[in-house]
Amino acid sequence: MPNDQDTTEQDEISTIDRREAIRRVAFILGGVTFVGGSSLLTACQNRDQKVTQAGDKVGDFSTSDISMLDEIADTILPDTKTPGAKAAGVGPFMALMVTDCYYPKDQKIFRDGLQKIDDACKKANNVSFVSATPQQRLDLITAIDKEAKTYGDAVEAARKKQSDTTTTAAAKKAEAHLPDERKEAGTGSDAGPATAITADSPTHYFRMMKELTMLGYFTSEIGMTKAQRYAETPGKYDPCVPYKPGDKAWAPHA
Q: In this structure, which amino acid lies at residue 59?
A: G
Q: Quote the CA–CA distance of 7 and 236 in Å, as a whole number.
A: 36
78: three-class secondary structure by DSSP: coil
Per-residue model confidence (pLDDT) at position 172: 58
Q: Quote the CA–CA distance of 189 and 192 in Å, as a whole number.
A: 9
Per-residue model confidence (pLDDT) at position 61: 92
Per-residue model confidence (pLDDT) at position 234: 62
Question: Which pTM value belongs to this model?
Answer: 0.66
Radius of gyration over every alpha carbon of the chain, rounded to an integer in angstroms: 23
Alpha helices (H) along 29-133? 63-76, 90-101, 104-125
b vs e for 128-153, b when ≥16 Cβ sit within 10 Å of the residue's Cβ?
A: ebeebeeebbebbbeebbeebeebbe
Instruction: State the CB neighbour count (10 A cutoff) for residue 239.
Output: 4
What does each of the 254 residues of the chain score in pLDDT, given as a tens digit? 555 555 454 444 444 455 555 565 565 555 555 553 444 554 455 444 444 454 566 778 999 999 999 999 999 999 988 899 999 999 999 999 999 889 899 999 999 999 999 999 999 999 999 999 999 999 999 999 999 999 989 988 988 888 777 666 555 555 555 445 444 333 333 333 334 678 788 899 999 999 999 999 988 888 888 777 777 666 667 677 787 888 877 776 54
Alpha helices (H) along 126-181? 134-175
Helix axes 134-175 and 205-218, enclosed angle (nearest 10):
110
Q: Quote the CA–CA distance of 192 and 66 in Å, as a whole number.
A: 43
Helix and strand numbers (H, E) in the chain are 7, 2
Nearest alpha carbon to residue 132 among 177, 87, 175, 74: 74
Per-residue model confidence (pLDDT) at position 137: 97
Per-residue model confidence (pLDDT) at position 115: 96
H or E element at residue 58: strand 57-58
Per-residue model confidence (pLDDT) at position 190: 38
CB-CB contact of 71 with 137 (8 Å): yes
Q: Quote the CA–CA distance of 225 and 246 in Å, as a whole number.
A: 16
- Phi–psi pair at 65, nearest 5 degrees: -60, -45
